[in-house]
Structure 1
Amino acid sequence: MVTRLSGFSNSGIDIDDTVKKLMKAAKIPQDKLKQQKQLLEWQRDDYRAINTKILTFRSAASDMTRQAAFQTKKSTSADDSVVSVTSTATAPEGIYSIKVNKLATSASVTSEAVGKSSDKALLNTIDAAFTKAATLSIGGEKGTATVVIKPTDTIAGLVAAVNGKTSTTGVTMSYDSTLDKFFFASSSTGSKAGIDLKMDSEENGHNLLTSVMKLTAASTPLSTDVVDKAKVITGTQAFATGSATLIDGSMATPQKFHMEANGQILDFDVSKTTTVGQLIDQINSSDIGKSGVSAYLDKNNKLAFNNPDKTKPVTFTDGTSDAYNLLDKLGVKTPTETTDLDFSSFKITGQKAEVEFNGATAQYDTNTFSISGMNITIKKAQATGATAVNITNTRDVDTVFNSIKSFVDKYNELIDTVNTKLTEKKYKDFTPLTDDQRTAMKDDQITTWEAKAKSGTLRSDSLLTSGLSSFRSAFSSAIEGLPVGNAKTLSQIGISTANISGTSVSGSYLENGKIYIDEDKLKKAIAEKPDEVMALFIANDGVKETDKGDGLARRLSDKADALFKNISAKAGITSSVDTSYLMGKTLKDMNKRIDNFNDKLEDLEKRYYNQFTSMEKYMNQMQAQSANLTKQMGG
C-alpha cells in the first residue's frame, strides 16, 4: 500500500494544488452532464407550472358546461321587510304573490318572577316545602332526558343541569337575575318544536313546576298545566361511579339491549366500553325518548325509567342469543315498578309558518323554505286584509355575463402565460453554474445569472404550440348541429379575437389568440336569446370522434385535459416517480451516469496521489544515492 503525500514535497511540487488542477480538468465532462441535468429539471418545473394553470382552466371550462351557469335568476321582493327571496336556476320567470299569515315560532316560555334576583339562591328558598329530591323530565324535539333536582341546588345548578341535556332534548334554560325570571326555549321552530316538562310531586306534595320554577298557565296561552299519573321503573343494580360506570368492562361479546315502550321497539348496542351514561343517552335520543319515556340514574345511582303514561307498558329483553345475561348487569331483570305517581306537567309547542302563495295556503316548520326553486325567507306576519307582496323572477343577465367574462379572462390568462414561455429569450452564453463557479460568485450575482440561465426553457416548444393551436381552433370553428337560425359561432354573440367599438378595432394575430368580449352585444344576446348563448358553450352531440358538434366550454375542457395529460406524460407531476414519465427516465439515467462518474473521479484522484507519492519516494532514493556517492568520493 502506497503512503499518500500532500503539500510541498522534496521535489518542490505542490501536490495538492497539482492534483486539484488535474481533477478540475477531469471533471469537465461531468460538469457538462450536471448542467444538462439542471436545464432538464428547470424545463420540467416550467412544464409543471404551466400544467397547474391548465388544470385550473380545465376546471373552469368544466363548470361552464353546466346549464346552471347560464340559468341563474334574479329575484326581488316588493317589500323586503316582510319577505326576501333568492332563486335557483330552476325558478320560473314571472311575478308571484305571497302573503304571510303567521311566522314559525319556537316553543318558548317565560316564568313568573322567582323572587330571588340571584342565581346563587337555593331552590328550597324559593319554596320552603321543597324538602326532598325530585325527578325533572325534560322533553323536546330531539328526545327526553331526566335529571334529579335537590332542594339544596342553586338556581345556577338547576340551569346547568337542564342545559347539560340540551344535546339530547333540544331544550335550553336560562335565568336572568335582573328580570328575576326563568326562560325556556326549543332549538327549532314549527310543530315539532316542543317543551315538555314533568316533575314528580309525590314526595313534596305539590306542583314544583309552579312553586319552584314559577311556570303557570298564565305564562303563555299555548301552555297546559296539569297533573299526570306516571310510572317509574327502577333497576336493582347500583352503579358506583354514576353515569361514568362501565356496564361490564369484561364483556367478551357485544350485546343488544332490547326495549319496547309507547309502541316503539328498538335495540341498543352495549359493549365492554359502554358506560351506563352512554346507554341512557342512546335511549333518550331515540324514538323511545321522543315518545316521552326517559332513562336516568336515580338518587341511588340505579337505572330508572320514567313513563308519563302509566297505561303503556315498558319492557326489556336481552336482544342477543347467548349465555350472557345483560339484564342482570343492568339490574332490570326484575325491576321495581312504582305506579300512580303524581307528576306535574307543563307543555308547550311551536307554531308553523303559514303563507298564501299565489292564493294557495301552505304551512312550513321554519321561516325559510323553498317554493318552485325560490328560496323564501319570511320576516313578519301581515295584518288581516293586508296586500300580498309581489316577488319578481327574471333572467340574471349580469351574473351570466360575469360568468362568461370570468371564463374568458381565465383563458386569456392561460394563453398569456404559455405565450410568454414560448417567446421567452434564450441566453446561450448563460449556462447553469458549476459548483466551482457558484463558489466564486456572490449571492446577487448567482441570482442574476440563473435568471438568464433559466430563461427560454420552453421557447418554441412544440407541445405547447400545438396545444394553443387547438385552443384557437375551438374558438373560431362553428358549432354544427344547432337548430336552423341559431347562432353558430361565438363571434355572433360578441366573443372573438377582435374587439370592435365604433370604428375602433383591437386584437390581431400577434396576440396569439387573445379573446375579446363586446359587452353590449353579449349582454343583449343573453337577455334576448339565452338558450342560444347556452348552447354555444354546452352543446354536446355525443360524437366522440369529433368536437364539431360540441360547445366551446366542452371543447376547451377536452383540449385542456388532453394537453394536461400530454405534459404530464412528458414532465410528470409533483408526486410522480421518475420512471413514470419521459423526462424522469432521462433524469434517472443522468443521475446514474453522474454517480458512475463520481466513482471514476475518486479512483483517478487516488491514482494521481499514488503516482506523486511513488515519484517522491523514487526521488528521495536518488537523492540519498547521490549523497552517498559524493561522500565516498570525498566530497
Structure 2
Amino acid sequence: MVLRLSGFSNSGIDIDDTVKKLMTAAKIPQDKLKQQKQLLEWQRDDYRAINTKILNFRSAATDMTRQGTFQSKKSSSADESVFSVTSTATAPEGIYSLKVNKLATSASVTSEATGKSSEAALLKDIDPTFTANTTLSIGGEKGTATITVKPTDSIAVLVASVNGKSSTTGVTMSYDATIDKFFFASSSTGSKAAIDLKMGSEENGHNLLTSVLKLKGDADNNPVTPNTPLSTDVVDKGQTLTGTVNFTTGSATLIDKDLTTVQKFHMEVNGKSLDYEISKTTTVGQLIDQINSSDIGKSGVSAYLDENNKIAFNNPDQTKPITFSDATVDSYSLLDKLGVSAPIPSHDPNSPTNPGKDYSSFRITGQKAQIEFNGATADYDTNTFAISGMNITIKKTSATAVNITNTRDVDTVFNSIKSFVDKYNELIDTVNTKTSEKKYKDFTPLTDEQREAMKEDQITIWESKAKSGLLRSDSLLTSGLSNFRQAFSSAVDGLPVGNAKTLSQIGISTANISGKSISGSYLENGKIYIDDDKLKKAIAEKPDEVMALFTANDGVKDSNKGDGLARRLSDQADALFKNISSKAGITNSVDSSYLMGKTLKDMNKRIDNFTDKLEALETRYYNQFTAMEKYMNQMTAQSAQLTQQMG
C-alpha cells in the first residue's frame, strides 16, 4: 500500500492545494463534456414539454373529428313543472307533444298505528298473543331473505333486522315514533318494484302481519289506492326445510376451510335450477346471500340460519318441492357438509314429517309511468326515460299535452369550435416562443466549482439564461408549424358545389375583421381569429357545411386535401409528436430508444471513463509528491550526516 502524503511537506509545499490546481486544469475537458450533456438534457426536456402540449391538442383535434360535436341539440319543455328534457345529438329537430298520465311509483306501504309510540316497545307489547318465535320472509325486486322474529324483540331491533337484508331484498323498513307507524318501501319503481311479506302465523292461524306489524291489505293482497282500508289474509301452509349441521359461529362460519377444489351446490325449485359455487373461503352467510339474491330468491324462496344456526329454506308454496344435489363429480360429500343430505320430506300437507306452516301474506307492487308522446302511449318503469334521443324526466301528471321544442344548439357548437381554436393558438404561441427565444452564448451550464461559488438566486438567474434559446429556429418545430398553417388555410376538396370549402368562409382565419378594423398578421405566425357573429350564423344556417369543414374524410391515406381541418390537424399533430418522440423520447423512455438518449448514453460513458483517468492522474500526482518528499528527506539526512562528520 502506497502512503499518500497531504498537507504541507517538509519542503513547504501545500500538496493538496497544488494537486487541486493541477486537477482543475485537467478537468476542463470533462467539464465541457458535462456542460454539453446538461444542454442536451435541457433541450430534451423542452422538447418533451412541447410534446405534452401537442398530445393534448391532438386529443382535442380528434374530438373535433366526431360528427356528434357539431350535432348538439337544445330541448325545452313548455312546462318544466310537468317534465324536464335534454337532448342528445340524435334528437330530431321540431316540436313534439308529451302528456303524462301516470308517474312511476315504488312499492310502499304504511301501517296502522301500533299504539306504543316508542322504538323501545317490544313486539309482544303490541300483540300480547304473540308468544313464540316465528319467521318473516321479505321479498323485493332484488331477492328474498328470511329473518327470525321474537316476541321479545323491540321495534328498533325488528327494523334493523329487516334493513340488514335490504341489499338482498331491495326493501327498507322504518318506524316513526311521533306518527307511530311502520313504513315499507322498495328501492326501485315500476312493475319490478315489489314488497312481498310472509310471516309465520300462530298455530291458531292468528295473522301476525295484521296484529304485530299492523298492515292491512285487500282479500287478494292487491295494491289499492291510498287511504283505502286494507286487510291481509292467511295463505296456505308453506314448507320450511331445516338442515342438520350446526354452524356454531353463525353466518361467518366457513363451510369447509379444508376444501381443495371448488364445489357446486345445486338447487331446483319453482321451475328454477341454479348452481352455487363454494370454495374454502366461502362462509355459510355468503352462500345464503348467493341463493337469496338469485332467481330462486326472486321467486320467493329464501335461505337463512335458524335459531340453532342450522341452514333452513323457506318456500311459502308447499306444492312445489325443493331439491338439492351435489353438482361436482368427485368423492366429496357437499350435501353432508351443509346438512341437507337427508331425503327431503314429503310435501303432502297432511304428512306428519312435514306438516307445513301457516303464513300470513302481504304483497304490493309499484306502478309504471304512462305517457303519450305525439299521441302514442308508452309505459316506463322509471320517471326518467329516453325517447328519440331526448332524455325526459316527468314530475307530475298533466291534463293536457305539453310541447317539447328541439333546436340546433348553436352556442354549444360555437363554444366547442372556440375552445379548439384557443387550444391551437396556445400551442403555436408556446412553439413560437421557444423557436424565437433569445440565445445567451456567454451563459453556459455551471460547473460544480462555479455552482459552489454562487448563491441560490444567482444560480437561478444564470441558469434561466443558460436554458434560453435551446430550441431557437428549431427545424423540427418550425416545419411542424408550417404544416399546421397550411392545414388551416387550404381548401377542403370534394365537398358539394356551393358548400363552404375554407374556414375563412365561416369566420375563422388569421385575420380578425370587425367593421373597418383588421387585426392579425403573418408576424403572429399563424394565430387564428374567430368572427363570432359570422361563425354563429354559419352554424345556425348551414350546420352540415360547418361540420364537413372539420370532419370530412376522403379516405385517401397519401393526401389530406379532402380531409376536414380537425382531421388534418390531428394527423399533423400526431406526426409532429412522433418526430419529437423519436428525437427526445418520452418520460419513461430508455436512452437507447431515442436519438438524444443514445447521445446522452455515449456522453455518460465518456464522462465515466474520464473520471477514471482523472482519479488515476490524481493518484499519480500524489505519488510523485510522496516520492519527492522521500528523496528530499534522504538528502536532508545525508547533508546532516556530512555536516556532523566535518564538524
Q: Aligning the two structures, in what range does the TM-score lie when normalised by the shorter sequence? A: over 0.9
What's the RMSD between the two structures over aligned residues? 1.3
CA contact (8 A) 1:224 1:347 kept: no
Distance 1:205 1:460, change over 3 A: same
**Structure 1 counterpart SS, 2:232:** strand
1:226 counterpart = 2:233: yes
**Structure 1 counterpart SS, 2:562:** coil
**Structure 2 counterpart SS, 1:217:** coil
Corresponding residue of 2:212: 212
Corresponding residue of 1:461: 474
1:340 CA drift (Å):
4.0
CA contact (8 A) 2:205 2:234 kept: no
Corresponding residue of 1:369: 385
Taking the TM superposition and a 5 Å limit, the aligned residue runs for 1:435-446 are 435-446=448-459
CA contact (8 A) 1:131 1:204 kept: no
Corresponding residue of 2:87: 87
Corresponding residue of 1:331: 339
**Structure 2 counterpart SS, 1:3:** coil
1:630 CA drift (Å):
2.1
Taking the TM superposition and a 5 Å limit, the aligned residue runs for 1:332-347 are 332-334=340-342, 335-336=344-345, 338-347=354-363
CA contact (8 A) 2:215 2:231 kept: no
CA distance in 1, matches of 2:623, 2:55: 58
Corresponding residue of 2:327: 319
Count residues in correspondence.
Answer: 631
What letter matches 1:61 in structure 2? A
Taking the TM superposition and a 5 Å limit, the aligned residue runs for 1:365-444 are 365-382=381-398, 386-444=399-457
**Structure 2 counterpart SS, 1:191:** coil
Match of 2:297 among 263, 267, 289: 289
> What TM-score do you get using the length of structure 1 for normalisation?
0.98
**Structure 2 counterpart SS, 1:283:** helix
What letter matches 1:331 in structure 2? G
Corresponding residue of 2:17: 17
What letter matches 1:271 in structure 2? S
Match of 2:588 among 558, 572, 575: 575
Match of 1:477 among 475, 490, 495: 490
Deviation sequence 1:20-61 (CA, Å, 0-9, x none): 100011011110000000000000000000000000000000
Taking the TM superposition and a 5 Å limit, the aligned residue runs for 1:462-611 are 462-611=475-624
What letter matches 1:632 in structure 2? Q
1:203 CA drift (Å):
4.0
Deviation sequence 1:522-569 (CA, Å, 0-9, x none): 001000100000000000010001001100000000110010011001
Corresponding residue of 2:310: 302
What letter matches 2:232 in structure 1? D
What letter matches 1:97 in structure 2? S
CA contact (8 A) 1:130 1:204 kept: no
**Structure 1 counterpart SS, 2:637:** helix
CA distance in 1, matches of 2:523, 2:122: 86
What letter matches 2:644 in structure 1? K
Q: Which moved more, 1:281-290 or 1:620-629?
A: 620-629
1:249 CA drift (Å):
2.0
CA distance in 2, matches of 1:564, 1:509: 25
1:114 CA drift (Å):
1.4
What letter matches 1:143 in structure 2? G
CA distance in 1, matches of 2:98, 2:312: 51
What letter matches 1:511 in structure 2? E
Corresponding residue of 2:258: 250
Corresponding residue of 1:271: 279
CA contact (8 A) 1:310 1:339 kept: no
Deviation sequence 1:285-335 (CA, Å, 0-9, x none): 011110111111112222211111112221111111222221111121224
Distance 1:99 1:224, change over 3 A: farther
Q: Which moved more, 1:600-609 or 1:267-276?
A: 267-276
Deviation sequence 1:560-593 (CA, Å, 0-9, x none): 0010011001100110011001111111111111
CA contact (8 A) 1:225 1:347 kept: no
CA distance in 1, matches of 2:643, 2:327: 116
Q: Which moved more, 1:529-538 or 1:619-628?
A: 619-628
Deviation sequence 1:116-136 (CA, Å, 0-9, x none): 222112111111111111100
CA distance in 2, matches of 1:236, 1:65: 67
CA distance in 2, matches of 1:224, 1:246: 43
**Structure 2 counterpart SS, 1:333:** coil
CA distance in 1, matches of 2:90, 2:536: 21
CA contact (8 A) 2:133 2:148 kept: yes
Distance 1:564 1:224, change over 3 A: farther
Match of 1:448 among 461, 481, 486: 461
What letter matches 1:276 in structure 2? V
Distance 1:26 1:204, change over 3 A: farther
Identity among equivalent pairs (%): 81
**Structure 2 counterpart SS, 1:27:** helix
CA contact (8 A) 1:103 1:353 kept: yes
CA contact (8 A) 1:99 1:356 kept: yes
CA distance in 1, matches of 2:443, 2:324: 86
Q: Which moved more, 1:236-245 or 1:20-29?
A: 236-245
CA contact (8 A) 1:132 1:203 kept: no
Corresponding residue of 1:123: 123
5+ residue gaps in structure 1?
none
CA distance in 2, matches of 1:3, 1:158: 90
CA distance in 1, matches of 2:533, 2:355: 81
1:204 CA drift (Å):
7.0
CA distance in 1, matches of 2:461, 2:119: 72
Q: Which moved more, 1:186-195 or 1:328-337?
A: 328-337
CA contact (8 A) 2:240 2:356 kept: no
1:631 CA drift (Å):
2.2
**Structure 1 counterpart SS, 2:119:** coil
Deviation sequence 1:445-504 (CA, Å, 0-9, x none): 001111101111111101001110100000011110111111111111011111111111
Distance 1:108 1:98, change over 3 A: same
Q: Which moved more, 1:252-261 or 1:330-339?
A: 330-339
Deviation sequence 1:229-273 (CA, Å, 0-9, x none): 212122222222221222222223221111111111111111222
Q: Which moved more, 1:529-538 or 1:200-209?
A: 200-209
CA distance in 2, matches of 1:257, 1:9: 92
1:398 CA drift (Å):
0.4
CA distance in 2, matches of 1:37, 1:340: 89
What letter matches 1:633 in structure 2? M
Q: Which moved more, 1:263-272 or 1:187-196?
A: 263-272
Corresponding residue of 1:175: 175
CA contact (8 A) 1:99 1:389 kept: yes
1:628 CA drift (Å):
1.9
What letter matches 1:225 in structure 2? T
Q: Which moved more, 1:224-233 or 1:407-416?
A: 224-233
